[in-house]
Amino acid sequence: MAATHILSQSPFLPKTLTLNRNPSTPIRPKPSISLPKTLINPNKFTLRAVLSHSNPTAVITPSDSPTKTSNFKHCFTKSQDGYLYCESIRVQDIMDSVEKRPFYLYSKKQITRNLEAYRDALEGLESIIGYAVKANNNLKILEHLRGLGCGAVLVSGNELRLALTAGFDPARCIFNGNGKLLEDLVLAAQSGVFVNIDSEFDLDNIISAARIAGNKVNVLLRINPDVDPQVHPYVATGNKNSKFGIRNEKLQWFLDAVKAHPAELKLVGAHCHLGSTITKVDIFRDAAALMVNYIDQIRDQGFEIDYLNIGGGLGIDYYHSGAVLPTPRDLIDTVRVLVQSRNLKLIIEPGRSLIANTCCLVNRVTGVKTNGTKNFIVIDGSMSELIRPSLYDAYQHIELVSPAQPGAEVSTFDVVGPVCESADFLGKGRELPTPDRGMGLVVHDAGAYCMSMASTYNLKMRPPEYWIEEDGSVAKIRHGETFEDHLRYFKDL
């Protein structure tokens, strides 16, 4: 029976450069790249720019069991010489070869490895890996993931435009969000992407967009399963107090509304999203069990439901503790039987687990100071470039890029930036050798929700981004912003 309590009445709805390699790392052949003989040197690489191409197992233990650890594997490694390397390239040498300002440094190969982990885990299932563009919207990274077969998950009209620019197949894109604008939904309807229904007014707007575009829209119902993901409340999205999704008791009302608009809507799936930084895969299993029961109810009313979208949110080892966290295979295997039992196609929306551990924010030490009982390492990076610690009190591993001076005292420091806020910190209570001025310091696991959340607060301009290519060369994949860029917004006013 349709619910009688609706939030709003709608007219459409029914009432209701040249750098050193790590000598201990073997040199891999350079694929399909011809270099002049003067550049062919197994211990060298070159810095260059990248052109845009727009065309197209470990098992997690129960929570009451002791934490397991394993040897930590990462594209960033500290060698016996005391230097930090990324894919066999010394980070210090990269610092010496690029402009002197904070920058993001990625491993392109690590992005590929992370995607392949999901692709291998999904073997045997019809599926879409939809990369959560909000995690990192660098165009070069999007083009690379698209080339690996990824779809895209979008939460704004501009993310949709960017995905189309990057060449993503609209049939493998999902438009999410609790406040989608009509003009953006019109673009979604014209493009042919999946659209999630999040509320009564959202459904109203989707119907309007379908009529304006003259296209039927493939929609999924985002159902709030009220499952506690046991994460920071700011990144919990699937509990009853979340702003996202529809309440399960209103499911029938939405089904009646969709039935009333066969020319505009085709219901093809159900969607849920629990949150982010999730480290227990049984939470996904519990949500999937609820969702397939909802799908059974929906199918009983004659809808042809093909897709279950379980969202994303798999966490990573930010502490670099060696803890055994769930892998993509662990996640997929917890829901595999449920998906197969209903002959469903699975949509997964990874962001953090695809991109976070591929990158670090590289900074320089401005100086060291002590106030009372607190020791501070002041760097040129800040909350403007990387806000997660300030916003969520999030932990990200920090270390020096090069060995400290012999005899440097090891102390406990807060690592802070120059921004005029006491909240401007990258890490608190970190035990580090006392660094010299100008030394490099990195904040690890900065690929997700760092550059995409960067600002120009205190007029600190957003930094450049680089990655290490498969052949060992370093390429700029985003220009740093400049003061002149800021002034441009006021030109001719």
Q: Residues for the chain: how many in total?
A: 493
**Nearest Cα to Cα of residue 469 among 478, 458, 477, 459:** 477
Element (H, E) at 328: helix 328-341
Residue 278 tokens read as 């999730």
Residue in the block written with tokens 């470990």: 58
Element (H, E) at 412: strand 410-416
At residue 160, the 3 state secondary structure works out as helix
Residue 170 tokens read as 């609209």
> What is the C-alpha to C-alpha distance for residues 480 and 463, in angstroms, rounded to an integer?
4
**Nearest Cα to Cα of residue 214 among 195, 191, 194:** 191
- The full DSSP string for 89-136 is EEHHHHHHHS-SS-EEEEEHHHHHHHHHHHHHHTTTS-EEEEEEGGG-
Residue in the block written with tokens 């010489």: 81
> What is the C-alpha to C-alpha distance for residues 222 and 177, in angstroms, rounded to an integer?
10
Element (H, E) at 332: helix 328-341
Residue 400 tokens read as 């020096």
* 420 catalytic residue (yes or no): yes
At residue 323, the 3 state secondary structure works out as strand
> What is the C-alpha to C-alpha distance for residues 479 and 383, in angstroms, rounded to an integer?
19
> What is the C-alpha to C-alpha distance for residues 193 and 155, in angstroms, rounded to an integer?
12
Which residue of the set 86, 359, 360, 420 is catalytic?
A: 420
Show which residues are catalytic.
420
